[in-house]
Amino acid sequence: MVLELFLDLYSPPCRAIYIFTRKNSIPFEMHPVELAQGEHLKPEFLKVNPLEKVPALRDGNFLVAESESSSEGWELDQGAALGLKLGASEWKGPVDAVQLQQPLGKLTPALQHLDQEVLAARPFLATEQVSRADLMAFTELMQPTAVGCDLFQDWPWLAVWRACVEATLGLELVQEAHRC
Ligand SMILES: N[C@@H](CCC(=O)N[C@@H](CS)C(=O)NCC(=O)O)C(=O)O
C-alpha cells in the first residue's frame, strides 16, 4: 500500500512535505487538493482530514493531518518559533504593493533577527546541516515569490542560506515544488 499525500503546492507546509518525501525517495501517490477551489471542504477530503487543512497523509488506515507530525523525526521547527508562518492565502496573486506593506512590515523583525543574529553566526537554523527547521522556514519565505516579492534581496545572510538550502535540496526539486 503506497503512502498518499494530499497537498496543494501553494501551501508552504505542503511544499515542505513534498520536498521531504521526494528528497528521501519515499514513494507516494499525490492527491492534489486545490484550496482555492474549496476541495478541502469536500466530503471525500473530510474523511482524510476533518480539520479541513492540507497537508494530510494517509498510509492505509493511518491518517496524519499535521505537517510537523508528518515529518516526525526532524529537528525542532524553529522556523515556526521565529514567527515565519505567513499563511498561503495572504500570498496568492494578484497582490498590489499596498496590500503587501502590512504583512511585510510584520515580518521585518523576524527577517532581521534571522539574518543578522541567527544566519550571520551559523549556516543553518538548527544544526550544521539542512534540517526540518530550514525546510519549513524556506517554504514559508518562498511564498511571496508567487506574487513577485523577493524577501531575500535585502538580507545578505538569508540570501546565502537560501542558496545553500537550494543547493542541498536540489534546485530542480525546489523549482518543481514551487512551480505553482
Ligand atoms: N500546522 C498545519 C497548518 C496546516 C494549514 O494551515 N494549512 C493551510 C494551508 S497552508 C490550509 O489547509 N488552509 C485551509 C483552510 O484553513 O481553510 C501544518 O503545518 O500542517
Q: Which residue among 53, 135, 138 is best mutated to probe the pocket of ligand 1, counting the most ligand atoms within 8 A of its Cβ?
A: 53
Q: Which amino acid residue places its CA nearest to atom 5 of ligand 1?
A: 53
| Domains identified in the chain and CATH numbers | 3-70 (3.40.30.10), 78-177 (1.20.1050.10)
Query: How long a stretch of residues is the chain?
Result: 180
Backbone phi, psi, residue 74, to 5°: -80, 170
| Whole-prediction pTM | 0.85
Q: Which atom of ligand 1 is nearest to the CA of 85?
A: 10
Q: Between residues 66 and 69, which one has the greater pLDDT?
A: 66
Which residues lie with the beta carbon below 6 Å from any ligand 1 atom? 11-13, 35, 40, 52-55, 66-68, 88
Encode pLDDT of 94-112 as tens digits: 567 777 788 788 889 999 9
H helices present in 24-155, as ranges: 43-48, 67-70, 78-81, 97-112, 132-142
Encode pLDDT of 124-165 as tens digits: 999 999 999 999 999 999 988 887 889 999 999 999 999 999
Residue with cell 517554504: 139
Q: Which atom of ligand 1 is nearest to the CA of 55?
A: 20
To 10 degrees, the CA torsion angle through 142, 146, 148, 152? Answer: 0
6 neighbors 136 (Cβ within 8 angstroms): no
Residue 49, Cβ density class (10 Å: 0-12 exposed, 13-18 middle, ≥19 buried): buried
Q: Which helix (H) or strand (E) holds 64?
A: strand 62-64
Structure confidence at residue 84 (pLDDT): 47
Q: Which residue among 11, 57, 132 is best mutated to probe the pocket of ligand 1, counting the most ligand atoms within 8 A of its Cβ?
A: 11
pLDDT average, residue stretch 165-173: 97
pLDDT average, residue stretch 157-176: 97
Helix axes 12-23, 132-142, angle to 10 degrees: 130
Peptide bond into 50 cis (omega under 30): no
